[in-house]
Structure 1
Amino acid sequence: MRPVGLAGNRELYLLTMRSAGGVIHKNGKKYMIKYYLSVILGVDVSSCHAVGKSELAQSV
């Protein structure tokens, strides 16, 4: 299940790939989901990959 809009927005995807560096290649889909959630929640994107699932759930 892909987040709506993310797959269609190629510029945002490429920008995310560049800014994330090796992290996005390591975690792949998990990182993209966390990134997308961070955008919705307004969480700092740079610290998104460090946030665990439980922490992310608690912040909602």
Structure 2
Amino acid sequence: MVLHEIKYDADVPDMVLHVNLKSIPTSQTWSYTKSHIEILCYDISSITIHHNSISYKLE
């Protein structure tokens, strides 16, 4: 169950990226968006690691 939730969370940035690419075509905004996406992906990674730690403790 926990693994399924992590997979769902990991899919979210792809949707965000898709929307941003369609709505903002300028290269200046793209570099800002790219930085934001990198931070977002880092947050998702931290959440995933946090979930894994909890799962490990529960076992």
- Please give the TM-score of this superposition, normalised by the length of structure 1: 0.33
> Whose helix fraction is larger, Structure 1's or Structure 2's?
2
Identify the structure with bigger relative contact order (alpha carbons < 8 Å, sequence gap 6+): 2
- Please give the TM-score of this superposition, normalised by the length of structure 2: 0.33
